[in-house]
Amino acid sequence: MAMNDRQKIIREISPYMGLASGMIATLVLFGGIGWFIDDSNNSYPLWTAVLSGIGAIVAIINFIRNVLRFSRADEERKIRELEKKKTLQHRGSDAD
């Protein structure tokens, strides 16, 4: 596989790798806050479970929003590429 192909693949999947990192960070953050509250109040596992659940919901909502945003951006990019090709083809046919 050529270096340009690898760079293109990495460029295409990097936003999704960022999404996975964001989901993990959200879950760890909410779960960690819940654990801290439970540890301070000796109420384990109440707040750990509650905040982990909220963290999971927040992570899923954020994931869906970002995937939709990435999809829209990809569609817009494809439309621009098609318009560019049509423009180039039209210019080429005018030269004939």
Average pLDDT rounded to a whole number, residues 52-70: 94
- Residue 9: per-residue pLDDT: 86
**Percent of the chain topping pLDDT 70:** 92
Could you tell me the pLDDT band of residue 86, with boundaries at 50, 70 and 90?
confident
Chain centroid to CA 20: 7
- Residue 93: per-residue pLDDT: 66
Token digits for 47? 């707040």
**Number of folded domains in the chain?**
1
Residue 95 pLDDT greater than 60, yes or no: no
- Residue 40: per-residue pLDDT: 96
Token pair 């990809």: residue: 74
**Total residues found in the chain within this entry:** 96
Provide the domain limits for residue 47. 3-95
Distance CA 72, CA 25 (A): 25
**Residue pLDDT, tens place only, 8-52:** 888 888 888 888 899 999 999 999 999 999 999 999 899 999 999
- Residue 94: per-residue pLDDT: 61
